[in-house]
Structure 1
Amino acid sequence: MARAETNRSGEMEVFVQVVEHGGFSAAARAGRMTPSAVSKLVARLESRLGARLVNRSTRAFQLTPEGCGFYERATRILADIADAERSAGAGEHPVGRIRLNTSASYAAHILAGILPDFLERYPQVAVDLMQTDRVVDLLSERTDVAIRAGPLKNSRLVARKLGETAMVIVGAPGYLDRFGIPATREDLDRHTRLSFGYARAIDGWPVTEAGARTVVAPVGRVQASDGEALRHLALGGNGLARLAAFTVQADIAAGRLVPVLERLNPGDREAFHAIHLGQGGPLPSRVRALLDFLAERGRVS
């Protein structure tokens, strides 16, 4: 008698349920199976792969490194299968959940204002929003799209440019009243220069004086993990900050922040990109819809 063909996608679905529900019993309840059936299916999967995916005990559930890698790939494969089926049967109407990683500044000043229109345009799409200014690994973080500022180095990533923004050094009026308005590069040495708490592509403040360009190291007693936190620190009078112009233009117009050292501003601009994994191949319709929408409505300047 011929051996029944392995249902690989079915095994993946059960394994993903086990991971996302935190155990065999919970996955069994969600999938209307018995815990023993779920356990046997995962054991059969491990046997076929020749690798242990889960460390089992009576009190703890833990993925092995091989299990983590298989879970990441399985979720992507299942999402692609579901999207392919929806595309074939529903005219490629975007459906499903998008994991979007972006900086807090972009989320607050660009995305928050346009996301309602995206969700209204695509009512069957949901968005999981993760905020960080750090560069994340899209595969390990199971991220569909990331918004990144600055130069791109990873050749595995496909990027769609969302514009460029000027950079500006700003301070709150109260802070400048106490410590003075800097007029020269040397004046910066007498000021608190708020900084990011991690390395960046240009780890400092470029200034141009007498035709010479130098980079001033930001120093101070306060660091922050994202640009929006630095903006709030500057608004609170904690020091000067060098920020993307689109994040502070409303504060400048309202007089809450004041640009300084514009005469020494080298005029450098920071590019923003929407990126995803791949080399230009077919994309799930939900991801393509978001990329097109960001190119239309999510540009910075």
Structure 2
Amino acid sequence: MARAEINRSGEMDVFVRVVEQGGFSAAARVSHMTPSAVSKLVARLEARLGVRLVNRSTRAFRLTAEGSAFYERATRILADIEDAERSAGAGERPVGRIRLNTSASYVTHVLAPILPEFLVRHPGITIDLVQTDAVVDLLAERTDVAVRAGPLKSSSLIARKLGDAAMVIVAAPAYLARAGVPATAADLARHDCLGFGYVRSVEGWPLRQGDETTAVPPAGRVQASDGEALRQLALGGSGLARLAVFTVRADIAAGRLVPVLEHLNPGDRETFHAIHIGQGGPLPSRVRALLDFLAERGRVD
């Protein structure tokens, strides 16, 4: 078959529906095709690519590793095609779905208050929000934009800086009344220090001791997978927590949390970036609109 005669986007669209619907029959219903026609299309696609994309049986449907990789690329290509067509028909008005991955802390204290403004500005955009502090594979998770804290590793990711967040150790007044107020770095050994339950770029709490800054490992009985959970634990009196100032500023002002060991605070800051995959071409207008908005209104400093 000549290259020009192959409807590649049509094949991708049907294959994506097979994956998302979980089988040929379900994909056939939403595609207004017969199950046999869908099955033959996928078989023809496999033959042309020279790989098996799907392992089939009467009871199971499972993607191969090659099928999973093809699905991820196909969904992104189809989204770009849709964005290009809608943008052309709407005078470059951003339209489409954005999958945004970020932490619960950023959502609660920065994104949630400003997101209505973004939605008003761009009525053609929908947001699929995923909250996690874990570093995710943007391609594997079909993520358009991720907001991450900490240093970025050299990669194909393109970053837009969202500011530097100051850090502070805090605790609830009730906890300090019960356990005492730490005055030195050594005092942390007898306190419940709430920590993250995963490896971070800097292990421990940086504290200034003389002319040097040393990282003191937090020793506590409770760990959590995200910063917002640590904030809630600190508010409840479970222990000390080291958090970004923008997440606890209102709590400190209201007296719900109290800063401690500020005389040992080295003044280190955690950098936040909005990142996306760099593919060497122009960004979809919907992604560019979100990145521009976050750089304008979604800063942490």
Q: Residue 219 of structure 1 corresponds to which residue in structure 2?
A: 219
Q: Residue 38 of structure 1 corresponds to which residue in structure 2?
A: 38
Q: TM-score, normalised by structure 2?
A: 0.97
2:286 counterpart letter in structure 1: R
Q: CA RMSD in A?
A: 1.4
Identity over the aligned pairs, expressed in percent?
Answer: 77
1:166-188 deviations in whole A, cap 9, x for unaligned? Answer: 00000000000001001111111
The answer to whether the 8 A contact 2:188-2:218 is kept is: no
Secondary structure of residue in 2 paired with 1:188: helix
2:33 counterpart letter in structure 1: M
2:25 is the alignment partner of 1:25: yes
Q: Residue 131 of structure 1 corresponds to which residue in structure 2?
A: 131
**Aligned-pair CA distance for 1:211:** 1.9
- Distance in 2 between the 1:113 and 1:261 partners? 31
2:132 is the alignment partner of 1:115: no
- Distance in 2 between the 1:281 and 1:156 partners? 13
**Aligned-pair CA distance for 1:87:** 2.3
Aligned length: 301
Q: Residue 71 of structure 1 corresponds to which residue in structure 2?
A: 71
Secondary structure of residue in 2 paired with 1:97: strand
**Aligned-pair CA distance for 1:88:** 2.3
**Aligned-pair CA distance for 1:81:** 1.2
Q: Residue 167 of structure 1 corresponds to which residue in structure 2?
A: 167
- Distance in 1 between the 2:26 and 2:2 partners? 34
Q: Where does the alignment leave 5 or more consecutive residues of structure 1 unmatched?
A: none
Moved more, 110-119 or 84-93: 84-93
**Aligned-pair CA distance for 1:253:** 0.6
1:59 counterpart letter in structure 2: R
Q: Residue 250 of structure 1 corresponds to which residue in structure 2?
A: 250
1:122-159 deviations in whole A, cap 9, x for unaligned? Answer: 11111110111111111111100000001111321110
The answer to whether the 8 A contact 2:150-2:270 is kept is: yes
Q: Residue 286 of structure 1 corresponds to which residue in structure 2?
A: 286
**Aligned-pair CA distance for 1:225:** 0.3
Q: TM-score, normalised by structure 1?
A: 0.97
1:143-158 aligned within 5 A: 143-158=143-158
1:222 counterpart letter in structure 2: V
Q: Residue 55 of structure 1 corresponds to which residue in structure 2?
A: 55
Moved more, 234-243 or 211-220: 211-220
- Distance in 1 between the 2:145 and 2:101 partners? 6
- Distance in 1 between the 2:48 and 2:203 partners? 49
The answer to whether the 8 A contact 1:158-1:280 is kept is: no
**Aligned-pair CA distance for 1:280:** 6.0
Q: Where does the alignment leave 5 or more consecutive residues of structure 2 unmatched?
A: none
Q: Residue 80 of structure 1 corresponds to which residue in structure 2?
A: 80
The answer to whether the 8 A contact 2:197-2:225 is kept is: yes
**Aligned-pair CA distance for 1:2:** 7.5
Q: Residue 11 of structure 2 corresponds to which residue in structure 1?
A: 11
- Distance in 2 between the 1:223 and 1:186 partners? 20
